[in-house]
Amino acid sequence: MAGPERINLYSDTQTRPSPGMRRAMAEAEVADEQRREDPTVNALQERVAELLGHEAGLFLPSGTMCNAIAFRLHVRPGGDEAILDRTAHPIVAEAGGPAAISGAMLNPLDGDDGRFTPEQVRAALREPGSRYLPRSRLVSVEQTTNMGGGRVWPLDQVRGVLEVAREHGLRAHLDGARLMNASVASGVAPAEFAAGFDTAWLDFSKGLGAPVGAVLCGSRELIEEAWRYKQMWGGALRQAGVLAAACVYALDHNVDRLAEDHANARRLAKGLASLPGVELDPAKVETNIVIFSVPDPAGFERRCAAEGLELSHAPGGRLRAVTHLDVSAGQIERALAIARRALDA
């Protein structure tokens, strides 16, 4: 007998390339990417740079490598400090990379669901010229916030943070793993959200549904320098057009439909919030991530998994559910029924 239907809310990284995307990959024009000759990679880089309003783009194997290279570009060895939210990806999910690879001192802020204010940045700045203190060097913003629950930074708040960064000569980096979710949810163009940052990137292996790939953008000069680290760290590829073709396909077909993921997340949040014992404010669910608490998270998670519903973890012993293109509205209803049984047990 077949097991229960699998409802995979573990992460939007769980998407599989669709038949159309696989066809585009199979038919991609390719050449040696390391020699900058792959036409599909080149087209993707140009397209993402234009989408984000930056001069140039660089195709990389992962979002983690985008953050790692960007931090390395901005942070100079010798006590430079990066300001970012305590729940930001470089702190919670990059194996200590900022310290190990960039020698970065990190100054974590306690933002509101991952979003800090210009005043918090100002208060975190180190007095310049002091021999005792690290040197404030970089501000990093995550749009949307992952462990903050998929929250969208309002454009004004982003601009306010950038203004403080500029005033004090800091570099600014935008972790846009889910920038397109922010854009679809808010109606703000990605280039507006990415304006004023020295580097910004998009992930294609999250809700956009490609199997692999991210594009880091910035000035021509910074991207040229980024190429050195891509080469140094073994991220340069060969006939990578087969991968880039999936990303091009994603931009053509999988952006507007993110609104469906957001609707599914809202429905899930409302349903969960109505169950006894669940702590969650559905008004805070703006995109495709739902973070919530239950009385016995480990038991709840185990009972859900036994019925085929997969969840993941968030800070503070909470659970995280993420909607994506391989999750249907019907599956959300079935997930709610499973959650109800798991709470009753």
Ligand X SMILES: *Cc1c(COP(=O)(O)O)cnc(C)c1O
Q: Can you give the binding site for ligand X, defined by CB under 6 A?
A: 62-64, 67, 89, 142, 146, 175, 177, 203, 205-206, 214
Nearest alpha carbon to residue 92 among 70, 125, 114, 74: 114
DSSP annotation of 293: B
Separation between Cα atoms, residue 92 and residue 276, nearest integer Å: 30
Q: What is the closest distance, in whole angstroms, from the C-beta atom of residue 296 to ligand X in the complex? A: 27
Note the Cα 292 to chain centre separation in Å.
19
**Bridge partner residues of 202 (DSSP):** 176, 215
Q: What is the closest distance, in whole angstroms, from the C-beta atom of residue 78 to ligand X in the complex? A: 26
DSSP annotation of 34: G
Smaller CB separation from ligand X, 85 or 307: 85
Smaller CB separation from ligand X, 8 or 303: 8
Which tokens sit at 22? 């696989």
Smaller CB separation from ligand X, 126 or 206: 206
Encoded amino acid at 116, one letter: F
CA–CA distance from 141 to each of 51, 114, 152, 292, 293 (Å)?
A: 18, 9, 11, 23, 26
In the bound state, the residue with its beta carbon closest to ligand X is 63
Rounded (10°) angle between helices 220-232 and 63-74: 110
Q: What is the closest distance, in whole angstroms, from the C-beta atom of residue 90 to ligand X in the complex? A: 8
Q: What is the closest distance, in whole angstroms, from the C-beta atom of residue 222 to ligand X in the complex? A: 19
CA Rg, the chain, in Å? 20
Q: What is the closest distance, in whole angstroms, from the C-beta atom of residue 201 to ligand X in the complex? A: 9
Any alpha helices (H) in the chain, and if so which ranges?
Answer: 19-26, 39-52, 63-74, 89-92, 97-102, 118-124, 155-167, 179-186, 190-194, 220-232, 241-253, 258-273, 297-306, 329-344
Smaller CB separation from ligand X, 73 or 336: 73
Q: Which residue has the tokens 């239950």?
A: 294
Smaller CB separation from ligand X, 102 or 146: 146
Q: What is the closest distance, in whole angstroms, from the C-beta atom of residue 311 to ligand X in the complex? A: 16
Nearest alpha carbon to residue 201 among 179, 176, 227: 176
Smaller CB separation from ligand X, 115 or 206: 206
Smaller CB separation from ligand X, 203 or 261: 203
Q: What is the closest distance, in whole angstroms, from the C-beta atom of residue 276 to ligand X in the complex? A: 31
Smaller CB separation from ligand X, 137 or 320: 320
Torsion over CA: 125, 127, 131, 137 (sign)? positive
Please report which helix (H) or strand (E) contains residue 121, including its range. helix 118-124
